[in-house]
Amino acid sequence: MAIGKGNPMSRGKACTVDADLQKGFGNPVPELYEAAAGDDASPALARALELRSFLALAEEQVARVRDRVHADMDPDRDMGELSADKLRFDAQWLEAALEARDGYRAALGELLRTMPPPAQQARPVRTAQLRATATLPLSAARAPPRAGAARARRP
Protein backbone atom coordinates (compact mmCIF):
# COMPACT_ATOMS: atom_id res chain seq x y z
CA MET A 1 0.00 0.00 0.00
CA ALA A 2 1.41 3.39 -0.95
CA ILE A 3 1.48 5.76 1.98
CA GLY A 4 0.32 8.74 -0.03
CA LYS A 5 -2.82 6.94 -1.07
CA GLY A 6 -3.33 5.51 2.42
CA ASN A 7 -6.10 3.19 3.37
CA PRO A 8 -9.17 4.94 1.99
CA MET A 9 -11.30 3.60 4.83
CA SER A 10 -9.03 4.92 7.59
CA ARG A 11 -7.96 8.11 5.82
CA GLY A 12 -11.31 9.84 6.12
CA LYS A 13 -12.07 8.67 9.65
CA ALA A 14 -11.20 10.84 12.60
CA CYS A 15 -8.43 9.50 14.78
CA THR A 16 -7.48 10.37 18.34
CA VAL A 17 -4.03 11.64 17.27
CA ASP A 18 -5.12 13.94 14.44
CA ALA A 19 -4.55 17.10 16.51
CA ASP A 20 -1.08 15.85 17.48
CA LEU A 21 -0.24 15.17 13.83
CA GLN A 22 -1.44 18.62 12.81
CA LYS A 23 0.65 20.19 15.55
CA GLY A 24 3.70 18.08 14.70
CA PHE A 25 3.62 18.58 10.93
CA GLY A 26 1.89 21.96 10.73
CA ASN A 27 -1.04 20.98 8.48
CA PRO A 28 -4.45 19.29 8.80
CA VAL A 29 -4.44 15.53 8.22
CA PRO A 30 -6.03 15.63 4.72
CA GLU A 31 -3.26 17.99 3.59
CA LEU A 32 -0.65 15.73 5.18
CA TYR A 33 -1.91 12.81 3.07
CA GLU A 34 -1.64 14.99 -0.04
CA ALA A 35 1.91 16.02 0.92
CA ALA A 36 2.85 12.38 1.55
CA ALA A 37 1.83 11.53 -2.02
CA GLY A 38 4.55 13.83 -3.34
CA ASP A 39 8.03 12.71 -4.31
CA ASP A 40 9.69 14.87 -1.68
CA ALA A 41 7.67 13.61 1.31
CA SER A 42 9.70 13.15 4.46
CA PRO A 43 10.15 9.62 5.84
CA ALA A 44 8.81 10.84 9.20
CA LEU A 45 5.56 11.99 7.57
CA ALA A 46 5.17 8.71 5.69
CA ARG A 47 5.71 6.69 8.88
CA ALA A 48 3.39 8.90 10.89
CA LEU A 49 0.56 8.53 8.39
CA GLU A 50 1.09 4.80 8.16
CA LEU A 51 0.86 4.53 11.94
CA ARG A 52 -2.18 6.81 11.90
CA SER A 53 -3.91 4.52 9.40
CA PHE A 54 -3.20 1.46 11.57
CA LEU A 55 -4.36 3.34 14.67
CA ALA A 56 -7.60 4.44 13.00
CA LEU A 57 -8.38 0.82 12.14
CA ALA A 58 -7.57 -0.36 15.66
CA GLU A 59 -9.79 2.38 17.12
CA GLU A 60 -12.56 1.30 14.78
CA GLN A 61 -12.20 -2.30 16.00
CA VAL A 62 -12.39 -1.16 19.63
CA ALA A 63 -15.56 0.80 18.87
CA ARG A 64 -17.17 -2.12 17.01
CA VAL A 65 -16.58 -4.57 19.86
CA ARG A 66 -17.73 -2.01 22.44
CA ASP A 67 -20.91 -1.36 20.46
CA ARG A 68 -21.54 -5.10 20.00
CA VAL A 69 -21.17 -5.73 23.75
CA HIS A 70 -23.45 -2.79 24.53
CA ALA A 71 -26.05 -4.15 22.11
CA ASP A 72 -25.79 -7.64 23.63
CA MET A 73 -26.20 -6.21 27.13
CA ASP A 74 -29.14 -3.94 26.24
CA PRO A 75 -31.76 -4.18 29.02
CA ASP A 76 -34.54 -4.59 26.45
CA ARG A 77 -32.84 -7.60 24.85
CA ASP A 78 -34.10 -11.15 25.50
CA MET A 79 -31.99 -12.72 28.30
CA GLY A 80 -32.14 -16.06 26.46
CA GLU A 81 -29.92 -14.60 23.72
CA LEU A 82 -27.12 -13.76 26.19
CA SER A 83 -24.07 -16.01 25.73
CA ALA A 84 -21.09 -16.22 28.08
CA ASP A 85 -18.98 -17.75 25.31
CA LYS A 86 -19.79 -14.89 22.97
CA LEU A 87 -18.96 -12.33 25.67
CA ARG A 88 -15.63 -14.11 26.42
CA PHE A 89 -14.76 -14.01 22.73
CA ASP A 90 -15.66 -10.31 22.58
CA ALA A 91 -13.51 -9.66 25.66
CA GLN A 92 -10.54 -11.36 23.95
CA TRP A 93 -11.16 -9.42 20.75
CA LEU A 94 -11.43 -6.18 22.69
CA GLU A 95 -8.20 -6.90 24.57
CA ALA A 96 -6.34 -7.50 21.29
CA ALA A 97 -7.77 -4.35 19.70
CA LEU A 98 -6.88 -2.26 22.77
CA GLU A 99 -3.30 -3.61 22.79
CA ALA A 100 -2.93 -2.76 19.10
CA ARG A 101 -4.38 0.71 19.66
CA ASP A 102 -2.05 1.37 22.59
CA GLY A 103 0.98 0.14 20.62
CA TYR A 104 0.22 2.35 17.62
CA ARG A 105 -0.42 5.36 19.86
CA ALA A 106 2.87 4.80 21.68
CA ALA A 107 4.84 4.40 18.43
CA LEU A 108 3.26 7.50 16.91
CA GLY A 109 3.80 9.48 20.10
CA GLU A 110 7.47 8.50 20.13
CA LEU A 111 7.86 9.50 16.48
CA LEU A 112 6.29 12.90 17.15
CA ARG A 113 8.44 13.46 20.25
CA THR A 114 11.71 12.67 18.49
CA MET A 115 11.25 14.58 15.25
CA PRO A 116 12.30 18.21 14.85
CA PRO A 117 9.70 21.00 15.10
CA PRO A 118 7.86 21.88 11.83
CA ALA A 119 9.92 25.05 11.31
CA GLN A 120 13.14 23.02 11.22
CA GLN A 121 11.78 20.29 8.94
CA ALA A 122 11.40 22.51 5.90
CA ARG A 123 14.98 23.79 5.93
CA PRO A 124 17.57 21.78 4.05
CA VAL A 125 20.46 20.54 6.08
CA ARG A 126 23.64 22.49 5.49
CA THR A 127 27.02 21.19 6.38
CA ALA A 128 30.09 23.35 6.66
CA GLN A 129 32.99 22.52 4.41
CA LEU A 130 36.02 22.39 6.65
CA ARG A 131 39.47 22.73 5.16
CA ALA A 132 42.55 21.54 6.88
CA THR A 133 45.57 23.66 6.11
CA ALA A 134 49.05 23.20 7.39
CA THR A 135 52.33 24.80 6.52
CA LEU A 136 55.50 22.81 6.53
CA PRO A 137 58.86 24.25 7.40
CA LEU A 138 60.88 25.16 4.33
CA SER A 139 63.31 22.30 4.87
CA ALA A 140 60.51 19.72 4.84
CA ALA A 141 58.82 21.32 1.88
CA ARG A 142 61.83 20.83 -0.45
CA ALA A 143 61.92 17.50 -2.14
CA PRO A 144 65.17 15.62 -2.01
CA PRO A 145 67.05 15.49 -5.30
CA ARG A 146 65.89 12.47 -7.35
CA ALA A 147 62.54 12.34 -5.51
CA GLY A 148 60.03 10.70 -7.76
CA ALA A 149 62.65 9.73 -10.32
CA ALA A 150 62.34 6.26 -11.73
CA ARG A 151 65.10 3.84 -10.90
CA ALA A 152 67.19 2.59 -13.74
CA ARG A 153 66.99 -1.12 -14.37
CA ARG A 154 70.11 -3.08 -13.73
CA PRO A 155 71.08 -5.83 -16.10
Residue ranges of domains in the chain: 8-118
Q: What are phi and psi of 74, to 5 degrees?
A: -55, 130
- Is the pLDDT at 1 greater than 50? The verdict is no
Q: What is the pLDDT of residue 127?
A: 47
Q: What value does the mean pLDDT take over residues 25-42?
A: 90
Confidence band of 133 (pLDDT split at 50, 70, 90): low
pLDDT of the residue at 155: 58
Q: How many angstroms from the chain centroid is the CA of residue 40? A: 15
Global confidence as pTM: 0.66
Q: What is the pLDDT of residue 40?
A: 85
Model pLDDT for residues 40-92, shown as the tens digit of each residue: 888 999 999 999 999 999 999 999 999 999 999 999 999 898 899 999 999 99
| C-alpha span between 67 and 73 (Å, rounded) | 10
pLDDT of residue 67: 96
CA 38 vs CA 4, 33, 50, 67, 121: distances in Å: 7, 9, 15, 38, 16
Please tell me the distance from the alpha carbon of residue 60 to that of residue 98, in angstroms, as a whole number: 10
Q: In angstroms, rounded to a whole number, what is the distance separating the alpha carbons of residues 88 and 98?
A: 15
If one counts every other C-beta atom within 10 angstroms of the C-beta of residue 24, the result is 23
Looking at residue 154, what is its pLDDT? 60
